[in-house]
């Protein structure tokens, strides 16, 4: 996959020696700017008769020390299960919408207490949870039940990231939806995009609209999921505003977007140090950043993360890889902006989302520290460091 972000922004002037390594550095000012764009879209599309809401998807970016920033602009968060719902209720403002491919029965009662929307992956799951949902209503829980649909329109570049890929387990196949499946359903959810612009959303909605139209009088909300790269400079924002207005008017429902990447797009970097160099047919560099431990999407997608200040010349690149024993722990070939020698600092761009939430301690590799920087004030704070105790307590 080709990364669709990688704008250095204010990080172009950030002194990498101000932090230890490896380290995530998140720019609060860029985070505010992204959230302002999302809020502006919502406000422009909302009318006295139509409600548009934007939730932040915690699965992509759940750095709760920035929850106050997100809460200042957005309407709530979307979560993927009990632990994220707990995190949301503890730190985030606004509504909580929880979806999981499958809920554990012994967790669902608490999820219903914490969430405003609970979204099921299939009508069968929803039916099995009927007693729990009834109990939530009796005990004063104001939870609204939704059903996730699979639009069955593949839009993704990579099948493993495409919810509508053939054989997908995510969402109830839209061609199987029947009247009996909609009993008790107040909302429809679909999530069909990944790092995409406006046109795939329009195509997906054309398919979903025709199927769910008979239930517009019953539905209270429609959640159009995430994957919308709204904060990317080339996103068609004016078209999105008109689309949201029309969708709300045509359906008579509240329309919800739940972007993940768009909240933190280009808002963070991952800073590393070159530990050793060598040569084996190509120049090789060992770094304290590991693809498998710190940026697993580099291997899973795969994709090549953009480097801050990478040179664009004819020099021979150096192949950067992590310190783990995995032979494939290779990030990519780069022309460093500084001399490729031990002790050199470098940084990868656009690492706030889907990196921090996926880190692991395979091989006992150290987790990156987490820093919050404000490029407008230059204030810099280390909000979390991880040590051996964090590694030990994950094991037994």
Question: Which residue ranges make up each domain of the chain?
Answer: 9-26+267-393, 46-264
pLDDT higher than 90, residue 140: no
Mind listing the pLDDT tens digit for each residue in 43-55?
999 999 899 999 9
User: Are 85 and 79 in contact, with CB atoms under 8 Å apart?
Assistant: yes
Distance CA 31, CA 9 (A): 12
Query: Looking at residue 156, what is its pLDDT?
Result: 78
Spatial CA neighbour of 51 closest among 95, 21, 102: 95
Q: What is the pLDDT of residue 1?
A: 67
**Mean of the pLDDT values across residues 236-259?**
98
Helices in 213-361 by DSSP H: which ranges? 237-251, 261-264, 291-294, 297-300
Choose among 243, 303, 297, 224: nearest CA to 57.
Answer: 224
pLDDT digits 0-9 by tens, 161-206: 899 999 999 999 999 999 999 999 999 999 999 999 999 999 999 9
Distance from C-alpha of 357 to C-alpha of 61, rounded to nearest angstrom: 7
Contacts of 92 (CB under 8 A, 6+ apart): 56, 58, 64, 67, 70, 71, 76, 77
Q: Over the stretch 368-381, which tens digit does the pLDDT of each residue have? A: 999 999 999 999 99
294/59 Cα distance (integer angstroms): 16
User: Where is average pLDDT lowest: 84-93, 150-159, 206-215, 357-366?
Assistant: 150-159
Q: Lowest-pLDDT range, 69-78, 112-121, 127-136, 240-249?
A: 127-136
Band the pLDDT of 30: cuts 50, 70, 90. Answer: very high
Eight-class DSSP state of 49: T
Does 31 have pLDDT greater than 70? yes
Assign 142 a pLDDT band (cuts: 50, 70, 90): confident
Per-residue pLDDT for 348 more than 80?
yes
300 pLDDT above the threshold of 80:
yes
Q: Which fold does the domain 9-26+267-393 belong to in CATH? A: Lyase, Ornithine Decarboxylase; Chain A, domain 1 (2.40.37)
Sign for the pseudo-dihedral over CA of 326, 329, 330, 336 = negative
pLDDT of residue 393: 96
Is 373:379 a contact under the CB 8 Å cutoff? yes
Strands 318-321 and 330-334: antiparallel
Q: For the chain, what percent of residues have pLDDT higher than 70?
A: 99
pLDDT score for 3: 72
Mean pLDDT estimate for the chain: 96
| Confidence bin at 322 (pLDDT 50/70/90) | very high
Q: Which residue has the tokens 């899973």?
A: 300
> Other C-beta atoms within 10 Å of 304: how many?
16
At 143-172, the pLDDT tens digits run 999 999 999 999 877 888 899 999 999 999
Mean pLDDT value across residues 338-347: 98
pLDDT over 70 (residue 271)? yes
pLDDT of residue 394: 92
Instruction: Write down the residue that tokens 């590393």 correspond to.
Output: 272
Residue 302, preceding bond cis, omega within 30 degrees? yes
- pLDDT, residue 135, reads 85
What is the pLDDT, as a whole number, of residue 2? 67
Tell me the CATH class for 46-264. alpha beta
- Residue 97's CB: how many other CB atoms inside 10 A? 28
The pLDDT assigned to 330 comes to: 98
Q: What is the pLDDT of residue 215?
A: 98
């Amino acid at each position: 996959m080709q990364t669709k972000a990688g704008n250095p922004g204010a990080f172009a002037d950030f002194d990498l020696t101000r932090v230890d390594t490896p380290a995530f550095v998140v720019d609060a000012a860029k985070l505010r700017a992204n959230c302002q764009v999302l809020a502006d879209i919502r406000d422009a599309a909302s009318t006295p008769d139509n409600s548009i809401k934007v939730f932040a998807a915690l699965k992509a970016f759940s750095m709760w020390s920035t929850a106050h920033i997100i809460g200042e602009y957005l309407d709530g968060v979307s979560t993927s299960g009990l632990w994220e719902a707990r995190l949301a209720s503890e730190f985030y403002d606004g509504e909580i919408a929880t979806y999981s491919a499958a809920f554990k029965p012994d967790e669902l009662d608490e999820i219903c207490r914490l969430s405003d929307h609970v979204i099921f992956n299939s009508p069968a799951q929803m039916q099995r949870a009927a007693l729990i949902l009834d109990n939530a209503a009796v005990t004063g829980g104001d939870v609204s039940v939704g059903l996730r649909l699979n639009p069955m329109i593949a839009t993704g570049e990579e099948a493993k990231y495409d919810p509508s890929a053939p054989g997908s387990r995510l969402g109830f196949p839209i061609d199987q939806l029947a009247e009996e499946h909609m009993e008790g359903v107040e909302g429809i959810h679909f999530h069909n995009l990944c790092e995409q612009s406006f046109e795939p959303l329009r195509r997906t909605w054309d398919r979903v609209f025709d199927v769910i139209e008979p239930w517009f009088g019953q539905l209270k909300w429609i959640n159009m999921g995430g994957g919308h790269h709204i904060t990317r400079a080339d996103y068609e924002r004016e078209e999105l505003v008109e689309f949201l207005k029309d969708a709300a008017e045509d359906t008579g429902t509240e329309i919800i977007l739940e972007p993940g990447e768009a909240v933190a797009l280009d808002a963070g970097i991952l800073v590393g140090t070159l530990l050793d160099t060598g040569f084996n047919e190509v120049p090789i560099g060992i770094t304290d950043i590991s693809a498998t431990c710190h940026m697993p999407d580099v291997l899973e997608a795969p994709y090549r993360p953009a480097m801050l200040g990478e040179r664009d010349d004819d020099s021979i690149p150096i192949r950067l890889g992590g310190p783990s024993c995995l032979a494939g722990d290779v990030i990519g070939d780069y022309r460093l902006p500084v001399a490729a020698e031990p002790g050199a600092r470098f940084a990868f761009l656009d690492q706030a989302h889907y990196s921090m939430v996926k880190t692991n301690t395979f091989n006992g590799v150290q987790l990156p520290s987490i820093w919050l920087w404000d490029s407008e004030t230059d204030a810099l704070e280390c909000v979390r460091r991880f040590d051996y105790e964090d590694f030990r307590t994950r094991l037994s």
